[in-house]
Each structure stands twice: as C-alpha cells, then as structure tokens.
Amino acid sequence: MPHTDSYTRFVNKPLGKKLAKTVGLPQPVPLRRHNKGDRLISGPILVVGDSPAADAIAKQLWADDYDVRRDPGLKQPFAGIILALDDVSHPADLSDRVLEVGTALRGLQSNGRVITILRDPQDATAATDASLMAARHGIEGFTRSLAKEMRRGATTNGIVLAEGVEMSAPSAQAALRFLLSGRSAYVAGQFITVSSAAGSLPADWDQPLADKVIIVTGAARGIGEAISETLARDGATVIGVDMPSAGEALTAVMNRVNGIAVQLDITDHNAGNRLLALAEERFGRLDGIVHNAGITRDKLLANMDAGRWDSLIGVNISAPLRINDQLLAALGQGVVVENFRITSLSSTSGIAGNRGQTNYAVAKAGVIGMTQALAARLAPTEGSINAVAPGFIETAMTDAMPTATREVARRMNSLQQGGRPIDVAETIAFLHADAAAGINGTTLRVCGQSMVGK
Ligand code: NAD
C-alpha cells in the first residue's frame, strides 16, 4: 500500500508497543485529525494566567460550551492547556505560570494541545526595552522547547499578538480554534502571528469558505488534491489546474469536489490572464489562489545542468511571481475581490537548505520573499498572502525515497512520523478564510517540528 508508515502501525499494537518501550525506540501515535462537524477538542481545557487575553479565551470557550478550568486541580486529565503570557514583561515573571503548567502536563491527554499566547518580539515599540524583549524572546524559546517535550501526538504552539491586537480579533480566535482542533495535527513548535484585527468571523465555522472561488495549481494529485478536497469541504468552489499530461487525474479530482478542471502549464506566460478570464466567465469572481504546483530536479551543484536548474525555477517561482502580477493587476476591479488571498507552498528545504537541492531551495526560499514583499499590498483591503512550509509529507514523492533515508527523515521531528497531505491542506484552508485576514506575510511550517531548520 503506498504512503503508509508501517512502523507507526507496528508500535501501536501490543507487541510493538512493548518492544519499542523496552528498546527505547520512537513511539509515534496516530494523530487526531479533523472530521467535518467535530468539536475543537474533547475534555477539560485549562486556561492559565489572568491577563485580558486569558479572560477573553476562557469566556469564548465557555460560550462555546467547552469545559474550561482556571485551576489545574489534582491530576486532571486535560485535553488542552492555554498559557497566556501576553502580559509578561520580565523573564523572572514566568516561573509561577509555567510551573503551574508543568504540573498540569503530567495528565495531558494523548493528542493534547498546549498553546502559549505572547506579544510580538518583533514589535518596534518594545525594541529598546531589554527586559521586555528578553521576556518575549524567552517565551518563544520556552514554546519551542516545550513542543519538543510533548509525547503521544500532543503539540505545543504559540499565538503571537501584535501591539494593539487582542484575543477578540477574528484571526486570534481563528488561530486558537485551528491550534486546538485536529486541523493542526502536524503543526508543532510553531507560531501564528496575528498582525491586525482585520477579518470577520464566519456564520458557520464548518463552512468558512462558503461562496469563495479559489484556484489550486498542481491539483491532480498529492498535496494539491488534498487542498482541493479540503477547500471544497469548507465551502469553496475550486478551479483545479494541472499539466495536460495529468488531465485524466485532474478531471477525476475535480469531479469529486464539484470543481472546474483546467489543463494548463503554469509556465505559460499568459497563465494568470487565462485563469482570470475563466473565473470571470464561469463565476464572475475570484477569491484566491494556492500556488501548489511544484517539481524537484535534484543534483549537487557540481553536477547541475541548465535544464534542471531552469525548469525548476520556471515552475516553482517564476510562474507564481508572474501569475500574481497578472491577477493583482486586476485587484479589486470586479473579478479579483478586494480581500484576495494567496497561499504558496514553500518547504523546510527553503528554510534550512538541503543537500542536492540548491535550485529547489532558491525557489522555496524565494516563495518566502515573494510572500513578505506582497503582504503590504494586500493588507489595506483585508487581503493576505502567506506561505506554508511542509516538512516530510507522506506522498508519492517521499514514497520514492530509499528506505533508510525515508525512515530517518520520517522520525526526525517531535511527532516522530511523517505528515499527510491533509495536514498541509488544513493549514491552507485556515489561511483562506475571512477570519484569517489578520495573518499576513507569514510562513507557517507544517512539519511536526522537524529538526531541520531554525
Ligand atoms: P506532486 O509531484 O505529487 O504534485 C505536483 C503536481 O503539480 C503534479 O500534479 C504536477 O503535474 C503538477 N505540476 C508540475 N508542474 C506543473 C506545471 N508546470 N503546470 C501545472 N501543474 C504542474 O507534489 P506534492 O508532493 O504534492 O507537492 C506539492 C507542493 O508541495 C510542491 O510545491 C512541493 O514542492 C511542495 N512540498 C512537498 C513536500 C512533500 O513532502 N511532498 C514537502 C515540502 C514541499
């Protein structure tokens, strides 16, 4: 069977579990993933801290009928722990709260969630206050380290609030829901930065993309297929794009999601304009694009040839840059909506570098640069552009790796397993919702806290 992790299956059977424990081998567990209609989390949620953010979170979760506790009590089996540290101004002020969490962690359920809330260490107004900056950076270090102490599918992540942004901001609420839920199964040790109070809450959290028309490139298989399915599940109409050679597979996916199949090479110099014309003709609107199509042409630089280099750059970065130019030329002029959303696939290889992938790293780091540069252009009308950087994802690509290399790559993260295309797709869907408008110009890793990278 393709894309399966037989080791994880083995160590979750009685004999395998015993053996792994005795010999000290990795013990990955099946991750909790979202199904339509699921509650965010089941079990008590502890909210630690007494800042306005802590109160707002507790109130919001109470209102949604969650079992919220403000005190760890004795040996509670918590499903989630939220640690509000947004009011901390000196590293020495952390101890009471983090030690309280330490006690509560002993009973954290499998696939549990720990979420820290902090103020932005990049905030210019805090830049000269040494204690404050030490505290904020310290909380980042704390969050990353705690994420590495998690076991049994549990994760720790942080929500970073920019100056003046409160937990009531739509994107802060959406980030909290995303991180508590099974949608963030493979997001670990990461931060979601909410830079503004832009955006609006959906009428139905199960249909956050209702009425939206979104282009997905490379939609015929792998991660693009999962993105198409997830966007459609959340209410969007998908325009799926792929090479003519993948036409049959593309049609099958688009039939399944009730989308439109477009056979088009994205390196076509007129690709953006052609997609724009199609969106106008069929729907009269375009709400976003997911730049997912990508190729690898690995070689050490010493053995690299122009064919490999140029084809990769052409598909993975020149095409998204050109398509963005063509679509954004029409921003807010009828078809391309004002709050247009762009997401693009980067990679941990673009962040950390990878042997044999100088061309791929140029493109995937380039995606991060493109994202940062266009954020300011989209912000004034509540649009956004973000990048998603997957780590090891179980696909045909990773299935083709030599067994030993694949097994090592799979375990080199805090969750000790590979992610699935759906994990990347959930993150993309989260970023396309109206509620996420305040998250702009960021790169979010979906990598199980891979040891690769910073
Ligand atoms: P994949 O090879 O399974 O699918 C890519 C799709 O893009 C294919 O259907 C292909 O036909 C299409 N495509 C390629 N060139 C195209 C072009 N010129 N025009 C239109 N379509 C084109 O890849 P995947 O594993 O699903 O990866 C999807 C994206 O995620 C890529 O950008 C990849 O770099 C990135 N990524 C993947 C992983 C992973 O572990 N699989 C990790 C990090 C990043």
255-288: per-residue pLDDT in tens? 999 999 999 999 999 999 999 999 999 999 999 9
172 pLDDT above the threshold of 50: yes
332 pLDDT above the threshold of 90: no
Atom of ligand 1 nearest to the CA of 315: 18
Cα separation, 11 vs 134, whole angstroms: 41
Q: What SS3 state is found at 119?
A: strand
Q: Is the CB of 425 under 6 A from ligand 1?
A: no
Cα separation, 102 vs 72, whole angstroms: 10
Is-contact 427 234, C-beta < 8 A? no
| pLDDT tier, 3 (very low <50, low <70, confident <90, very high otherwise) | low
Backbone φ and ψ for 420, nearest 5 degrees, come out as -120, 155
Q: Is the CB of 267 under 6 A from ligand 1?
A: yes
Cα separation, 263 vs 143, whole angstroms: 44
Least confident of 33-42, 118-127, 312-321: 118-127
For residue 242, list its beta bridge partners.
263
Q: Which of 253, 346, 395 to mutate to test the pocket of ligand 1 (most atoms within 8 A of CB)?
A: 395
Is-contact 153 111, C-beta < 8 A? yes
Q: Which of 7, 66, 186, 360 is catalytic?
A: 360
Q: Is 186 a catalytic residue?
A: no
454 pLDDT above the threshold of 70: no
Q: Which tokens belong to 25? A: 């081998």
State the distance from the centre of ligand 1 to the C-alpha of 439, rounded, in angstroms: 25
167 pLDDT above the threshold of 80: yes
Cα separation, 294 vs 388, whole angstroms: 13
> What pLDDT is attached to residue 54?
97
Backbone φ and ψ for 86, nearest 5 degrees, come out as -70, -15
| pLDDT tier, 2 (very low <50, low <70, confident <90, very high otherwise) | very low
Half-sphere exposure of 9 (CA within 13 A, CB side): 5
Is-contact 228 254, C-beta < 8 A? yes
| pLDDT tier, 12 (very low <50, low <70, confident <90, very high otherwise) | confident
> What pLDDT is attached to residue 205?
95
Predicted-complex ipTM score? 0.99
Cα separation, 348 vs 361, whole angstroms: 9
Atom of ligand 1 nearest to the CA of 392: 40
Q: Give the number of other CB atoms < 10 A from CB of residue 36.
A: 8
| Residue bearing the bigger pLDDT, 42 or 22 | 42
State the distance from the centre of ligand 1 to the C-alpha of 292, rounded, in angstroms: 6
> What pLDDT is attached to residue 7?
75
Mean pLDDT along residues 53-61: 96
User: In percent, how much of the chain has pLDDT > 70?
Assistant: 98
State the distance from the centre of ligand 1 to the C-alpha of 140, rounded, in angstroms: 32
Mean pLDDT along residues 203-208: 96
Segments in 264-388 forming alpha helices (H)? 271-282, 306-313, 319-328, 348-352, 358-378
356-390: per-residue pLDDT in tens? 999 999 999 999 999 999 999 999 999 999 999 99
User: In percent, how much of the chain has pLDDT > 90?
Assistant: 85
Segments in 206-305 forming alpha helices (H)? 222-233, 247-257, 271-282
321 pLDDT above the threshold of 80: yes
Q: What is the largest CA-CA distance in the chain?
A: 64
> What pLDDT is attached to residue 1?
38
213: nearest Cα among 258, 173, 248: 258
70 pLDDT above the threshold of 80: yes
